Amino acid sequence: MPLPTRPVRPLALPVTLLLATALMAAGLTGCSVLSPFNTCDDTAARLKDLRSQPILNSTPEGATAPVGLDSVDSRCIDDTGDAWLYAARVYAFPGSPQEVVDFYRTAAKADGWHLQHDPSDSSTPETTAGLCFTKGGDGEALLLTVQFTRASDLEFAYDYDAGPEFDAGSGFEIEVGSETDGARTGCFD
């Protein structure tokens, strides 16, 4: 007499369910095999493009680059989970912050940049908050900021002992930034 047999279940369904559950759990916990973030890999050409932006060398008359900070500083930063590219210049200016604001409003507009305003804080004057502009479409989007800086800021950010050129007026930093893939980015996102 033959022994009764149990129906054999195929292993495909349990294995599929187990894998689907594991992948879903990994996604929900933030762990995944493929990173959703951009990295600094293969960004040399984009950094070169940022360094060559003409606006970085456009300054109000009388602005000077401090000795030791007289070239474009460009980098890819990948310490926040999503890489960011930037090229920046620091300048000392003997005039007022308003003169810097007026100059960059005009120069940036002439170079195709679009001024953005902070929708959540319209009461802070540009002479304190600085300026932010955008340019380009998706895949080639750029962000331009003009921020006022003091000698103590330079010491903190660049380990730079600013000379007397920062005692006479408005120091400022101008930066062109971009996502590594050129995706659109906003000033106040």
Contact 55, 107 (CB under 8 A): yes
Instruction: Domain of residue 99: give its range.
Output: 44-179
Per-residue CA distances from 16 to 8, 9, 26 (Å)? 17, 13, 15
Examine residue 1 and state whether it is found in any structural domain, yes or no.
Answer: no
The DSSP letter of residue 181 is T
Examine residue 159 and state whether it is found in any structural domain, yes or no.
Answer: yes
- For the stretch 141-177, pLDDT in tens is 999 999 998 877 777 877 888 777 776 678 999 999 9
Examine residue 127 and state whether it is found in any structural domain, yes or no.
Answer: yes
Query: How sure is the predictor about 121, in pLDDT bands with cuts at 50, 70 and 90?
Result: confident
Which residues lie closer than 8 Å to 44 by C-beta, 6 or more apart?
none
Instruction: Please give the pLDDT value at position 36.
Output: 52
Instruction: Please give the pLDDT value at position 26.
Output: 44
Examine residue 74 and state whether it is found in any structural domain, yes or no.
Answer: yes
Examine residue 26 and state whether it is found in any structural domain, yes or no.
Answer: no
Contact 91, 65 (CB under 8 A): yes
Examine residue 135 and state whether it is found in any structural domain, yes or no.
Answer: yes
In the chain, the number of structural domains is: 1
- For the stretch 89-104, pLDDT in tens is 999 999 999 999 999 9
